[in-house]
Chains A and B, each alone.
Chain A
Amino acid sequence: MVGFAFLILLIAGVPIAFALVAFAVILIWTSGNTILFQSFPQQFFGGLENYGLLALPLFILLGEFMNAGGIGRRLMALAMALLGSVRGGLAYVNLVANMMMASILGSTVAQITIMSRIAVPEMERTGYPRDVSVAITAAGGMLAPIIPPSMLFIIFGVIAQLPIGDLFIAGIVPGIILFIVFLAVIGWLGRRYNFPESQSISMRERALAVWDALPASLIPIVIIGSILGGIATPTESAAVASVMAVAIGLFIYREMAPQDIWPAFMRAAASSAIVLFLIAAAGLFSWVITFENVPAIVSEWVQSLTDSPIMFLLLINLMLLFLGMITDPIPAIILVVPVFLPVATGVYGIDPFQFGVIVCLNLTAGLLTPPVGTGLFTAALLGRVRAERLAFLILPFFLAVALVVLMLVFFPPLSLGLGKVLS
């Protein structure tokens, strides 16, 4: 009944965060535990009292500075210099540049926004069909939340109380697998759409591109180095990298002016507030349902369906696929994880890192599926392609994602992090 009211509000277009708050209010009201209203404001605020969440605004800020500093274009040039004149070279270049961007950015939409402006015009100019170019760019965006750093892993880590650094590491191998599978898809697309040959690039041009991209590649090195070197926590590493990004933008690439700094802070504040508020609302939501013992009831129900961890994961993936279609990954994660993570780890003995990587990868694809897909619409808008056409062209990449998800389901070591596998 309360769930029905929640659905009505969602469908009517009430912002998801407010619909979650409304759900909490209605559930408290109907359950008769009105005493909870006295804790409501403190609990609302308390949903944000979490050190790990600080990583979120900081990595968003880092993305803003990177965007202003002209780093994307250099990474594209670097990728071009590294790859020879294979058939469809530029398509691979696009994916490699996306891979490099992913090691700096944590959000698919941010990455699609930057790469669409750089990669698509270049591919169109050299004779690639524009719609296919847009599809490849959009698909490349799916690497952003799997290759560290990652917004989704931060949010998952906060909800699951897992160290964010370890989650980042757990994403590396699945990210590389995803990259390889995407390469294969591009190879197939190249034959199907007859991609043009690449122009050859002189050694001098190559050397120049590498030299020019060196400062940009310092960013991921600073992030990883400051964590491993014991200078900073993963959260603090974003702060250090932000300062680096400003310095590179101002003094080395000179594409940024001092007056660009303040607007970047305001944009980062506005967009991170939207996500953080959603997390606060989800905190209320999960507090109220926990108080009413809902997760325990759901967990019993799931257990009555199957006792195989693999079956459980496949069921969860089906549900995520559906959720990913109708909403964006962040709200989906905060709806699913509080209820199903305890079941996954407690009942089925699934490793929380494996669960996290699977959930994040599955939901990332949801960002590019109709009917609700912010990534899809961003790419379609920027690349001037109809969203339906784009969704159709991305289909092979979805199948690739599904394949990788299945690999992660059946081979847990893939997502347990390099460290754990080695030791």
Chain B
Amino acid sequence: AEEYRMGLITPPPHQWTVTAKEAADEIKAKTDGRVDILIFPSGQLGSEAQMLQQLQTGAMDFAFFTLGEFSNRDPNYGIFLAPFIVDDVAGAQKLLKGETAQKLLDGMADFGLVGLGWGMAGMRMIVTSDPVETVEDLKGKKIRTIPFAPELAFWEGLGAAPTPMPLPALYDAFANGQVDGMQIDVEGTWNSKYFEHASSIIISDHMMFPMAAIASGRKWAGISEEDRAIVEAVFSEKLDSLVAGYAEIDADYRKKLETTEVTVMDVDRDWFGPALEEWYVRWREEAPMLKELEAEASGK
């Protein structure tokens, strides 16, 4: 039996880590212990940049990554962050298994990786400390985001000031007013208690938060074809149920947030106004594959 190492930045109780653990157990059973994957959560083996390098050399074998390291290298990986490219989790699930998604997985060979499939976290929404009713109210607000170019562009387009900040610092920063709001999901809003200092919870579901399941290109070549098929099948199945599960997770946490005193409101694409179209015009240039994704999403 050979030991393999799989790294994640999420802590043990997070859905991604739980899914990784389940996949590892099932793979071990189905390969009769030939593929034994040890899980290293919480960034124990390093940040995503550091893990990427270890995957490239073949020191590490598997990982779940956010889009950051990819979209930083090739803007086409940022197209999943297109606002309202899907309406809900079901739409996301379909798109993540589509042709464009597969093309992006194949393209990971350029980074020395094998793309095994896509997962995701909850749909992105907005939490603000001041009451917000129209998109105008977001103007000039400091909104905590992840420093992904497409996400920053989205917020700049709305006239807000996107403010990157490490997640552990966010609660204090929000409570003290260093940031006025954040782009997040309902699960995080509830679990990290951001709602305690919020006036508005805006369920916009405006953006997906995809996750890539990847393997080291170097190490993948050394696994027997039979075992590779098992690994691929197990990951594919587990990722699918992870994504599907977020429909329920999002709904559950939304209900929990509704029990608080904070206003919870639903907004749709029109609420955001013309800034969205400008975003698309710009990103169709920067990331040519966006057009393919749009065509696929509109069901053409």
Min Cβ gap A352→B in Å is: 11
Q: Which of A35, A49, A163 contacts B57 (CB 8 A)?
A: A35
- The interface residues of chain B lying within 8 Å CB-to-CB of A162 are 168
CB-CB nearest in chain B for A36: B59
Min Cβ gap A289→B in Å is: 10
- The interface residues of chain B lying within 8 Å CB-to-CB of A232 are 178
Q: Which of B5, B50, B168, B178 contacts A161 (CB 8 A)?
A: B168
Stretch at the interface among B38-46, B113-121, B225-233: B38-46
Q: Are B177 and A229 neighbours in the complex by a CB distance under 8 Å?
A: yes
Q: Are A233 and B173 neighbours in the complex by a CB distance under 8 Å?
A: yes
A 33-73 binary contact with B (CB < 8 Å = 1; else 0)? 10110110011001001011000000000000000000000
Q: Which residue, B43, B166, B172, has most C-beta atoms of chain A within 10 A?
A: B172
Q: Which of B38, B44, B50 contacts A43 (CB 8 A)?
A: B50
Tell me, in angstroms, the Cα distance from A231 to B168 when the chains sit together.
18
Tell me whether A293 and B45 are in contact in the complex, defined as CB-CB below 8 angstroms, given that A228-B176, A232-B178 are known contacts: no
- The interface residues of chain B lying within 8 Å CB-to-CB of A229 are 176-177
Min Cβ gap A294→B in Å is: 11
CB-CB nearest in chain A for B58: A35
Min Cβ gap B139→A in Å is: 19
Tell me, in angstroms, the Cα distance from A162 to B38 when the chains sit together.
25
Confirm or deny: B171 has a beta carbon within 8 angstroms of a beta carbon on chain A.
Answer: yes
Min Cβ gap A1→B in Å is: 21
Tell me, in angstroms, the Cα distance from A165 to B175 when the chains sit together.
12
B 248-271 contacts with A by CB, 8 A: none
Confirm or deny: B31 has a beta carbon within 8 angstroms of a beta carbon on chain A.
Answer: no
Tell me whether A227 and B47 are in contact in the complex, defined as CB-CB below 8 angstroms, given that A35-B59, A161-B168, A290-B40 are known contacts: no
Q: Which of A33, A42, A230 contacts B53 (CB 8 A)?
A: A42
Confirm or deny: A265 has a beta carbon within 8 angstroms of a beta carbon on chain B.
Answer: no
Tell me, in angstroms, the Cα distance from A135 to B39 when the chains sit together.
50
Chain B contributes a number of interface residues (CB within 8 A of A) equal to 26
Min Cβ gap B196→A in Å is: 8
Min Cβ gap B248→A in Å is: 26
Tell me, in angstroms, the Cα distance from A159 to B47 when the chains sit together.
13
- The interface residues of chain A lying within 8 Å CB-to-CB of B58 are 35
Min Cβ gap B80→A in Å is: 26
- The interface residues of chain A lying within 8 Å CB-to-CB of B109 are none
Tell me, in angstroms, the Cα distance from A291 to B57 when the chains sit together.
14
Min Cβ gap A319→B in Å is: 22
Min Cβ gap B18→A in Å is: 14
Q: Are A290 and B45 neighbours in the complex by a CB distance under 8 Å?
A: yes
Min Cβ gap A417→B in Å is: 11
Tell me, in angstroms, the Cα distance from A163 to B165 when the chains sit together.
12
Q: Are A39 and B173 neighbours in the complex by a CB distance under 8 Å?
A: no
Confirm or deny: B49 has a beta carbon within 8 angstroms of a beta carbon on chain A.
Answer: yes
Min Cβ gap B190→A in Å is: 16
Tell me whether A38 and B49 are in contact in the complex, defined as CB-CB below 8 angstroms, given that A230-B178, A291-B5 are known contacts: no
B 30-65 contacts with A by CB, 8 A: 38, 40, 42-47, 49-50, 53-54, 57-59
Q: Which residue, A43, A46, A291, A346, has most C-beta atoms of chain B within 10 A?
A: A291
Tell me, in angstroms, the Cα distance from A163 to B42 when the chains sit together.
15
CB-CB nearest in chain A for B178: A230
Tell me, in angstroms, the Cα distance from A230 to B173 when the chains sit together.
7
A 138-166 binary contact with B (CB < 8 Å = 1; else 0)? 00000000000000000000000111011
- The interface residues of chain B lying within 8 Å CB-to-CB of A234 are 172
Q: Are A293 and B59 neighbours in the complex by a CB distance under 8 Å?
A: no
Tell me, in angstroms, the Cα distance from A139 to B34 when the chains sit together.
58
A 16-40 contacts with B by CB, 8 A: 33, 35-36, 38-39
CB-CB nearest in chain A for B174: A230
Tell me whether A49 and B47 are in contact in the complex, defined as CB-CB below 8 angstroms, given that A161-B42, A232-B178, A346-B12 are known contacts: yes
Tell me, in angstroms, the Cα distance from A342 to B54 when the chains sit together.
23
- The interface residues of chain A lying within 8 Å CB-to-CB of B172 are 163, 165-166, 227, 233-234
Q: Are B44 and A290 neighbours in the complex by a CB distance under 8 Å?
A: yes
Q: Which of B59, B168, B169, B177 contacts A39 (CB 8 A)?
A: B59
CB-CB nearest in chain A for B11: A161
Min Cβ gap B222→A in Å is: 12
Q: Are B50 and A38 neighbours in the complex by a CB distance under 8 Å?
A: no
- The interface residues of chain B lying within 8 Å CB-to-CB of A290 are 40, 44-45
CB-CB nearest in chain B for A291: B45
CB-CB nearest in chain A for B13: A346
Confirm or deny: A348 has a beta carbon within 8 angstroms of a beta carbon on chain B.
Answer: no
Q: Are B50 and A46 neighbours in the complex by a CB distance under 8 Å?
A: yes
Confirm or deny: A277 has a beta carbon within 8 angstroms of a beta carbon on chain B.
Answer: no
Confirm or deny: A340 has a beta carbon within 8 angstroms of a beta carbon on chain B.
Answer: no
Confirm or deny: A253 has a beta carbon within 8 angstroms of a beta carbon on chain B.
Answer: no
Tell me, in angstroms, the Cα distance from A231 to B172 when the chains sit together.
12
B 162-212 contacts with A by CB, 8 A: 166, 168-169, 171-173, 176-178
CB-CB nearest in chain A for B129: A230
A 276-304 binary contact with B (CB < 8 Å = 1; else 0)? 00000000000100110100000000000
Tell me, in angstroms, the Cα distance from A51 to B168 when the chains sit together.
11
Min Cβ gap A63→B in Å is: 23
Min Cβ gap B67→A in Å is: 19
Tell me, in angstroms, the Cα distance from A33 to B47 when the chains sit together.
20
Known: A161-B43, A162-B168. 4 other contacts (CB 8 A): A33-B59, A46-B49, A165-B172, A291-B59
Q: List 5 A-B contacts (CB under 8 A).
A: A42-B50, A162-B168, A227-B172, A229-B176, A290-B45
* Pairs of residues from A and B, 9 with the lowest C-beta to C-beta distance, nearest first: A230-B177, A230-B176, A38-B57, A165-B172, A35-B59, A46-B50, A290-B44, A163-B168, A39-B54
The chain B residues found within 8 Å of chain A, CB to CB, are 5, 12, 38, 40, 42-47, 49-50, 53-54, 57-59, 166, 168-169, 171-173, 176-178
